[in-house]
Amino acid sequence: THCDIESTFYLTIEDGYFYATLEEESPALLTVYSLEGKIVKQISYPANTQFSEKIDLGNLNSGIYMVKCNVSDQQVVKKIMVQ
């Protein structure tokens, strides 16, 4: 099933963690990187896996990070703040 990942990828931030949820059946790659472009976390998900993942960012310095989700030929980038 092909759908617009912009409407099926959600981020929720709570107490040093963020929760990434994707309602998509294609393989996905989730990448967290700093504003300088350094990759700080990368997780891949196999096909046919709708995920809702609790991701610990407590080891990162405070600041703004970008979360990029790639699915097939689509990608969405969202901004998060780590405090």
Cα 32 to Cα 61: distance, rounded to the nearest angstrom: 13
pLDDT value, residue 3: 53
pLDDT value, residue 41: 92
How is residue 48 written in tokens?
A: 């046919």
pLDDT value, residue 1: 43
What string of pLDDT tens digits covers the 83 residues of the chain?
A: 445 666 677 777 777 678 888 877 788 899 999 999 999 999 898 877 677 778 888 888 999 999 999 988 889 898 988 88
Type of residue found at 20: A
